[in-house]
Amino acid sequence: MIKKFDKKDEESGSGSNPFQHLEKSAVLQEARIFNETPINPRRCLHILTKIIYLLNQGEHFGTMEATEAFFAMTRLFQSNDQTLRRMCYLTIKEMANISEDVIIVTSSLTKDMTGKEDVYRGPAIRALCRITDTTMLQAIERYMKQAIVDKVPSVSSSALVSSLHMVKMSYDVVKRWVNEAQEAASSDNIMVQYHALGLLYHLRKNDRLAVSKMLNKFTKSGLKSPFAYCMLIRIASKLLEETEAGHDSPLFDFIESCLRNKHEMVVYEAASAIVHMPNCTARELAPAVSVLQLFCSSPKAALRYAAVRTLNKVAMKHPSAVTACNLDLENLITDSNRSIATLAITTLLKTGSESSVDRLMKQISSFVSEISDEFKVVVVQAISALCQKYPRKHSVMMNFLSNMLRDDGGFEYKRAIVDCIISIIEENPESKETGLAHLCEFIEDCEHTVLATKILHLLGKEGPRTPSPSKYIRFIFNRVVLESEAVRAAAVSALAKFGAQNDDLLPSVLVLMQRCMMDSDDEVRDRATFYMNVLQQKQKALNAAYIFNGENTHCAPSLNLRALVCVDISGPIQEVRLCLSVSSVPLANTPITEQKTEFAPVATSKLPEKPGPTRQDIYQEQLAAIPEFQGLGSLFKTSEAVQLTEAETEYVVRCVKHTFARHMVFQFDCTNTLNDQLLQKVMVQMEPSEAYEVLHYVPAANLPYSQPGSCYSLVRLPEDDPTAVSCTFSCTLKYLVKDCDPNTGEPDDDGYDDEYVLEDLEVTVADHIQKVLKPNFAAAWDEVGGDFEKEETFALASVRTLDEAVGNIISFLGMQPCERSDKVPENKNSHILFLAGVFRGGHDVLVRSRLALADGVTMQVTVRSSDETVVDIILASVG
Amino acid sequence: MFPLEPSLYTVKAVLILDNDGERLYAKYYDDTYPSVKEQKAFEKNIFSKTHRTDSEIALLEGLTVVYKSNIDLFFYVVGSSHENEVRSLAVLNCLFDSLSQMLRKNVERRALLENMEGLFLAVDEIVDGGVILESDPQQVVHRVALRGEDVPYSEQTVTQVSTTALVTSFISAYYIVQCGSCTITLFTLYSPET
């Protein structure tokens, strides 16, 4: 039979594959000869090879047929043919998961693993451990222990690696073999050493002290195996990171010493470990960088790749450290391995000077089509970073990006490009038109819904404010005609924004809207009808509320507008607002129950928060559980935590301020760091400087060692003087101390009262204001109107730069900067900052602050709000 | 996240594909590609990205792939992207050198297919469940210990072959068959079944 197939083989030449047309059923049929006596080792071997080949090709074996073949195979243990026996082991391993009752071969394998034939022993151990479970493991434990310390390396290695595989399943049994593993670790064989170290680490990795002892031992005694060294370096760097040890630790010295190891593998591992360490200084990086530099000229592509990839990482944080390698990197630009060339160029883009950008971009565009998507994303990221560094180069980048956008590529790649273009547009106003044009072209033929909606949203936001908005309308309306529902809906929203902002375009937009109202999709139709009605009113305030700032997400989920469309929208604005508030409640995180006009619901529904429990939601829930705090209404704002003690003191206290409509709750998170004390009835006594009134203290009943507890104070805000927004509280921690046994935590019966003075706590205007992002500030400005507008001019003498002034104002008022006005363009000596927020009680507040730099900074602040007091409060607090 | 988690599990897959990107051997050691369909898709991708260039290393689908081609075979060792590339390369070289010795420097598709059991056993000795078991090709060849392969048959005379066939087992007879048409007679003489 074999002869026949050989003949055929020769006739058909070298292209044929003897395994090509194997039929599973035919092979299993053939496997019956396993039962023949005497066993024909050669034929059986061939059949086993076929079975493993089939398994390897991904052929599915049913449990029945697998079990049958497996049992037939067990008979082959009677033959003493070495290769046949080895193939039996392999079959056992391959079939361990598909056949039933595989444990039947346990005794045969145990015999082989303890037998005289060294060639059998290692593989037999590995096969045995594949079919063993926890209960059976006990039975072979003795043999495993012996095998681990066996002097034949293949036996010892097999036993160690198999033990490692079984750690997941039976940790408790394998744990008992630590001593044997320890002995194996001092073996002369490099692989045994490596496997023993790996097993020891896996058994001890949760015990930091044991790991550190083990490291200490091995770093001192020295190992022979480069594999083991790599492992040691990884363990050491992990320990360094966990313990946050400084770089003067002996572990760091060990890693650094590995840079001088004779094996490239170890040297590279050490260099990569140093590069990945957080807070490495340039001086500490230098030796690692210089070995990587050497690797750059290695004949091995893998080593060059590894080196340049790691250098690329260094360049992200410390570009200056890599400049020394620029020459070597230049040589790699023409490397035949495109991955290496790409990495070299992107690294150079990070470290090189502005003048080299053009040349590098030209280089990279010559082969960008040859590299994989992963690297294309790397290139795009490098370009994105570059644009921030050299804003003047944006035209070169934009061209390059648009070319890349036209090429084929996956979603991740396209998304990276789109994000990059969007960020360029936002950073450089002069690139806006080219960028938008490229994006328009892209959505003409874009298969990714997410990207299309994102771009449409951007077009809606930026398009109307360009010199010729009409040219974008065509692109947007094409989407309405051609795309899926989600894209159509986004396109309708974008169209509405054009209509609202450009009076001359309004008639045409209305015509287009009319068409969209015939759409087959509900959402698209609803949006069109809604926008149509709003636009027809031609009222700026309505447009601002419902078209520009109404929705924050570009792929806005169904707005549930259906309820609204039927409302007679020509009624007074208030009435419409009420309707909208009802329909937009599902979107809001905190439902607003009061529907009075001064409690405009817009506030919370516009918070740029994602659905799902936020930090504030969690606090709200916690506070609601405390009876004293019921009836306070919904939580308006939660501040960041403020430390009231120095770090490392006996008691650590931090305060979180919760603002409600008329009250504030101070939450004190206290930790007792003394293990011989138990604190009880812990509270923080507060002495206000203004007319704030402390209503309640909620003490923490028990504060044992190192378990944080919270106590609360409830304070009523002064009602007769609404302008008193800032206040200073002097705080004292009061408690009952009981001494206790540091070990058991058992307290004495008697205690004594004590107190501890904390730092003063400040309440500022920022605590009363919640940030709100207004995507279109000008529209919001008009919407609020000038009824309560006030303006004042201040001189900020102590501030030297515009950046600093902007930062100070934002953090002082706690409001949201809009229109990216928090970024001051370079080399300008005047700037306008737009801030938006909601004051406690639900009043919109908008601040326009013109800054001019002379000797100090002069600031003209204009405040608008729906409430006059709020305007006064803001101006008073700024002054 | 700590990217360089110390572990012995360093190899995700060992693959051998032929000139058309067809799988000759594939062993996956973890669940990165759980189904055969995903595996084949990955192999297709890997092949399309590597078969034209001879450049040893690539980053694909977030995995580092070191590879090597010889005549009509492509060898791949796949590791995570945080893996030490030099170590993966050591595994690849060990696999290739072991096979090269076992196939008497004749590393090509046909010879490999005729020695599949040797390949299975060699990979089993080099990587076990994702852990590098041995990196020295000498040791691997020694442990695989296929008998009757000590002398390259292609360089033997007919007399030598016949004496070898006499003294060695049936397996060597099996190999003789594949050496040339003249040895087929020898095979029929010494094989008990025919």
**Interaxial angle between packed helices A411-427 and A373-389, expressed in degrees from 0 to 180 and rounded to the nearest 10:** 10
Q: How far off is chain B from A21, nearest CA to CA, in Å?
A: 13
ipTM above threshold 0.95: no
CB–CB contact A276 B84 (8 Å)? no
CB–CB contact A90 B120 (8 Å)? yes
- A748, two tokens: 């004495």
pLDDT at A24 over 70: yes
- A146, two tokens: 């012996």
Residues 6+ apart with CB under 8 A from A543: A500, A501, A534, A535, A779
Q: How far off is chain A from B157, nearest CA to CA, in Å?
A: 20
Please compute the mean of the pLDDT values over residues A556-572 and round it to a whole number: 39
Q: Which of A30, A94, A227 to mutate: most B Cβ within 10 Å?
A: A227
Q: Which pLDDT belongs to residue A554? A: 34
Instruction: List, for residues A56-81, the tens digit of each pLDDT value.
Output: 888 888 888 889 888 888 888 888 88
CB–CB contact A336 B55 (8 Å)? yes
Closest residue in A to B116 (Cα–Cα): A49
Q: Which pLDDT belongs to residue A559? A: 43
Q: What is the DSSP letter of A842?
A: T
C-alpha pair distances (Å), A417 with each of A14, A361, A378, A382, A405: 47, 15, 11, 11, 7
Contacts of B178 in chain A (CB under 8 A): 6, 9
Contacts of A3 in chain B (CB under 8 A): 177, 184, 187-188, 194
In the chain, the amino acid numbered A482 is L
CB–CB contact B135 A272 (8 Å)? no
pLDDT at A321 over 60: yes
Q: Which residue has the higher pLDDT, A736 or A16?
A: A736
CB–CB contact B58 A269 (8 Å)? no
Q: What's chain A's average pLDDT?
A: 80
Among A48, A265, A339, select the one facing B58 at the smallest CB separation: A339
In the chain, the amino acid numbered A599 is F
Instruction: For chain A, give the longest Cα–Cα distance.
Output: 107
Full-prediction pTM beyond 0.80? Answer: no
Q: Which pLDDT belongs to residue B147? A: 55
pLDDT at A236 over 50: yes
Closest residue in B to A233 (Cα–Cα): B6
Among B88, B117, B173, select the one facing A45 at the smallest CB separation: B117
Please compute the mean of the pLDDT values over residues A338-352 and round it to a whole number: 83
- For A842, phi and psi rounded to 5 degrees? 95, 25
In the chain, the amino acid numbered B104 is R
CB–CB contact B117 A87 (8 Å)? yes
The HSE-up count of residue A832 (CA atoms within 13 Å, CB side) is 9
Q: How far off is chain A from B35, nearest CA to CA, in Å?
A: 9
- A148, two tokens: 């681990």
Lowest mean pLDDT of A328-337, A536-545, A669-678, name the range.
A536-545
Q: Look-up: residue for tokens 């002054």?
A: A879
- A446, two tokens: 């874009």
Residues B162, B168, B172, CA angle at the centre, nearest 5°? 75
Residues A664, A668, A670, CA angle at the centre, nearest 5°? 175
Q: Which pLDDT belongs to residue B182? A: 44
Q: Which pLDDT belongs to residue A597? A: 31
**What is d(CA A243, CA A400) in angstroms, rounded to the nearest whole number?**
45
Q: If we measure between CA atoms, which residue out of A361, A457, A444 comes closest to residue A406?
A: A444
Q: Which pLDDT belongs to residue A570? A: 40
Instruction: List, for residues A676-725, the tens digit of each pLDDT value.
Output: 888 888 888 888 887 788 888 888 888 888 888 888 888 888 877 777 77
Instruction: With beta carbons less than 8 A apart as the criterion, state whether A266 and A258 touch.
Output: yes
CB–CB contact A238 B26 (8 Å)? no
Among B59, B129, B174, select the one facing A372 at the smallest CB separation: B59
The HSE-up count of residue A426 (CA atoms within 13 Å, CB side) is 17
Q: If we measure between CA atoms, which residue out of A78, A501, A90, A56 comes closest to residue B24?
A: A56
Q: Which of B44, B88, B133 to mutate: most A Cβ within 10 Å?
A: B133
**What is d(CA A868, CA A789) in angstroms, rounded to the nearest whole number?**
8
CB–CB contact A272 B169 (8 Å)? no
Write out the H or E segment, with its range, that includes residue B128: strand B127-128
**What is d(CA B57, CA A375) in angstroms, rounded to the nearest whole number?**
13
Q: Which of A14, A160, A244 to mutate: most B Cβ within 10 Å?
A: A14
Instruction: List, for residues A629-684, the tens digit of each pLDDT value.
Output: 877 777 888 888 888 888 778 888 888 888 888 888 888 888 888 888 888 888 88
* pLDDT band of A199, cuts 50, 70, 90: very high
pLDDT at A5 over 50: no
- For A711, phi and psi rounded to 5 degrees? -120, 160
Q: How far off is chain B from A234, nearest CA to CA, in Å?
A: 5
Walk along chain B (194 residues) and give the pLDDT tens digit of each residue: 345 678 889 999 999 999 888 899 999 998 889 899 999 999 998 898 888 777 788 888 888 999 998 888 999 999 988 888 999 999 999 999 999 999 888 888 888 988 898 999 999 999 999 999 999 999 899 888 765 444 334 434 444 444 444 444 444 444 444 444 444 434 434 444 43
Contacts of A264 in chain B (CB under 8 A): 86
Residues 6+ apart with CB under 8 A from A422: A435, A439, A454, A458
pLDDT at A10 over 50: no
Instruction: List, for residues A135-162, the tens digit of each pLDDT value.
Output: 888 888 999 999 999 999 999 999 999 9
Instruction: List, for residues A355-375, the tens digit of each pLDDT value.
Output: 777 788 877 777 777 777 777
Q: Look-up: residue for tokens 């023409």?
A: A334
Q: Which pLDDT belongs to residue B3? A: 54
Contacts of B188 in chain A (CB under 8 A): 3
CB–CB contact B124 A123 (8 Å)? yes
Q: What is the DSSP letter of A707?
A: -
Q: How far off is chain A from B90, nearest CA to CA, in Å?
A: 9
Instruction: List, for residues A492-515, the tens digit of each pLDDT value.
Output: 888 888 888 777 888 888 888 888
**What is d(CA A635, CA A662) in angstroms, rounded to the nearest whole number?**
10
CB–CB contact A42 B171 (8 Å)? yes
Q: How far off is chain A from B110, nearest CA to CA, in Å?
A: 6
- A375, two tokens: 């690297």
Q: Which pLDDT belongs to residue A59? A: 86
Q: Which pLDDT belongs to residue A381? A: 81
Q: Look-up: residue for tokens 């048409």?
A: B181
> How many pairs of residues across A and B have Cβ atoms under 8 Å apart?
194
Among B62, B135, B177, select the one facing A374 at the smallest CB separation: B62
Q: What is the DSSP letter of B54?
A: -
CB–CB contact A57 B23 (8 Å)? yes
Peptide bond before A507: cis, by omega within 30 degrees of 0?
no
**What is d(CA B103, CA A293) in angstroms, rounded to the nearest whole number?**
38
* pLDDT band of A549, cuts 50, 70, 90: low
Contacts of A192 in chain B (CB under 8 A): none
Q: How far off is chain A from B36, nearest CA to CA, in Å?
A: 6
* pLDDT band of A16, cuts 50, 70, 90: low
| Nearest-10 Cα torsion for A301, A306, A309, A311 | -110
Q: If we measure between CA atoms, which residue out of B79, B41, B176 comes closest to residue A306?
A: B79
**What is d(CA A864, CA A522) in angstroms, rounded to the nearest whole number?**
38
Instruction: With beta carbons less than 8 A apart as the criterion, state whether A81 and B169 touch.
Output: yes
**What is d(CA A255, CA A765) in angstroms, rounded to the nearest whole number?**
51
Q: Which pLDDT belongs to residue A245? A: 67
* pLDDT band of A567, cuts 50, 70, 90: very low
Contacts of A49 in chain B (CB under 8 A): 116-117, 120
Contacts of B8 in chain A (CB under 8 A): 161, 164, 194-195, 198-199, 202, 231
- Helices vs. strands in chain B: H and E counts, helices first: 8, 7
Contacts of B89 in chain A (CB under 8 A): 300, 302-303
